[in-house]
Chain A
Amino acid sequence: MPPPEDLRQPRLAAGCRWGGSEENRVILFPEGAIKLQGTGRQVLERCDGQRTFGQIITELQTQFGDADPAKIRDDIGKFLEQLRQKRIVDY
């Protein structure tokens, strides 16, 4: 399964939603939860089904201006691909 294409609009998969508290944000799914902090949280908060993968990448590349843009794209693509395997994200 490939990472998302630029025009895809990643979103949380059915049965997954945000929970926990502001300091302890988690994504809840049927049999568990994952705690999200830092970049992972920033990526998933943008997976709202509205933004395209291309937009998400651009926003984060801007935010992390000093990092290699190609690496940012690659890392986020792999991250979302893994979450799709687990049925936490769809795109």
Chain B
Amino acid sequence: MTIEVKNIVKKFGAFAALDNVDLKVGKGELLALLGPSGSGKTTLLRIIAGLDWPDAGEVRIDGEDALGHGASERHVGFVFQHYALFRHMTVFENVAFGLRVQPRAIRKDEATIRARVKELLDLVQLDWLANRYPSQLSGGQRQRIALARALAIEPRILLLDEPFGALDAKVRKELRQWLRSLHNEIHVTSIFVTHDQEEALEVANRVVVMDKGRIEQIGSPGDVYDNPATAFVHGFIGESIVLPVEVTGGSVRLGGRPLNIAADGAASGASKLFVRRHDMQIGPAGTGSLEGAVRHVRSFGPIQRAEVTLSGGEGKTVIEIDAPRDRELQAGEIIGLQPRRYRIFAAQE
């Protein structure tokens, strides 16, 4: 099923939680809404589910106007960050709930309901917990039950609000892969909200990066990482070195000193130079357009991370770079630096 969101505006008092948001989600996609807290991603998800209402705009699920229907009529599976399992019901009854509240005319008989719940519990690999209560389960188990419960109504779309946000790192990682493979299995159009870029890049087919109620970029995980559309996306996804530069005509200057890089069509004026930590080429002193003194080196895994004090300008700028282990760095060493890949964005006021 497809989801289409058009010109959605939602204000809480003077604060614009969503500011003219447009989004199209294709059939069978697994889409991530990624952004810092307060970016409006959860509000957007709740509006699609019918748990919140926009001040203006349109929501279409499979071409059909969704705003004309309440949450209970939209057939949307919703998974909450804090699971929201019914605490007085067993796991079995939690999953069966959506089937038991169906109107009498279409309600399945008890045997069918039992078979369906069994099937779903098998799907989330927790059939052995059917008679437990939510308080007797671990966080990861609760979230899988919440998912089974949402899937019980055969939802047209599945919405997950920070589904792994309340779990510890290890469980979160397991569940991520599990969700990925579950989606491959059942192929329901899904949107999940997260503030964890790693999670978004790892799980989703497509990532929507949001900030301050606006969509900053929509693209594949590789796309938003390699070709960030805005300064915000570059800064939010992946670690970046950010340097304040001045663009005049085609040349780029840092603290008055020209850098040996092309402006790449960036407009003249105060700008910001973004370089990934591993995209700084390291050479002997005197090579490269930047020079700095190594302050501190930490080595772990395949890389060494160095803090470097840039010389020139104010002389106080400290950056962190990642270098391969084969180029050994020493504290105190003066090195030359040259950005291999970089982006220049106009500095915002």
Same complex = no
Residues of A near any B CB (own CB < 8 A)? none
